[in-house]
Amino acid sequence: MCATCGCGNDEARVTTVDHDHDHDHGHGHPHGHTQHVHADPDVRTHTLELEVAVLARNDELAAQNRSWLADRNITAVNLMSSPGAGKTTLLERTIAASTRSVSVIEGDQETLVDAERIQKAGARAVQVNTGAGCHLDSTMVARAIEELQPEEGSILFIENVGNLVCPALFDLGEQRKIVVISVTEGDDKPLKYPHMFAAADMVVLNKTDLLPYVDFDPEVLTANARRLRPDVEVLPVSAKTGENLDSWLAGLV
């Protein structure tokens, strides 16, 4: 189990969704595959030390990911949300409208469903299945990048496992952390999940087409998010109707 949150992410599997490769895998990612540090559940006194060690090792690998991506002018975005907030639909819209090449690392506990959706939308994707794990870490992302080999100057989206807790703790080497929240979830989410919203560089408020039918106040959501990060941008969009997607795309350039 992961010493930080107790999830079992040692079962992670990286799967390539069939696509045409126009690159040589001979130039691999610049660091090897390193396993997590795992805590012995019977040795409680070492829990804190192991948590520090896990996060420190993760951050070291994340820095290598970040350097590799920066050398190739690749914009990496860690997209996080609770399940069902609309991350994949937003990505489908983004792929269709983006003027830059887009590739995606999909994180889910099981299935290839989202990676297959991304491929059908026109982008290359790698699926990372975490098994019992509730988040991606920098080692998983390094393996996925090595397989995916995103193009120079492109955008790489890392669609994290649906979870508003643990993904906030793990640096993946991304340039930006973006949290997607839907209007069906409640405008108090930043107060309930402060670590996630404190880490966010942007909050995307999705499914605004449903605002007339739900008890949700965007101004309250914005105020709650800015209690945790005063300068955070809150961007309302509807991935279904396309409302305000121009602003979303402009912010990715």
Predicted local confidence at residue 26, as pLDDT = 46
Domain ranges of the chain: 35-250
* Cα 181 from Cα 177, distance rounded (Å): 13
- Beta bridge mates, 78: 158, 177
- Condensed to tens digits (0 to 9), the pLDDT of residues 148-173 reads 999 999 999 999 999 999 999 999 99
Share of the chain above pLDDT 70, in %: 81
Predicted local confidence at residue 10, as pLDDT = 57
pLDDT at 3 over 50: yes
* Cα 115 from Cα 104, distance rounded (Å): 8
What is the chain's mean pLDDT, rounded? 87
- Condensed to tens digits (0 to 9), the pLDDT of residues 186-195 reads 999 999 999 9
pLDDT at 25 over 90: no
- Condensed to tens digits (0 to 9), the pLDDT of residues 65-95 reads 999 999 999 999 999 999 999 999 999 999 9
Class at the top of the CATH hierarchy for domain 35-250: alpha beta
The phi and psi torsions of 135 (rounded to 5 degrees) equal -160, 160
Q: What is the pTM of this model?
A: 0.84
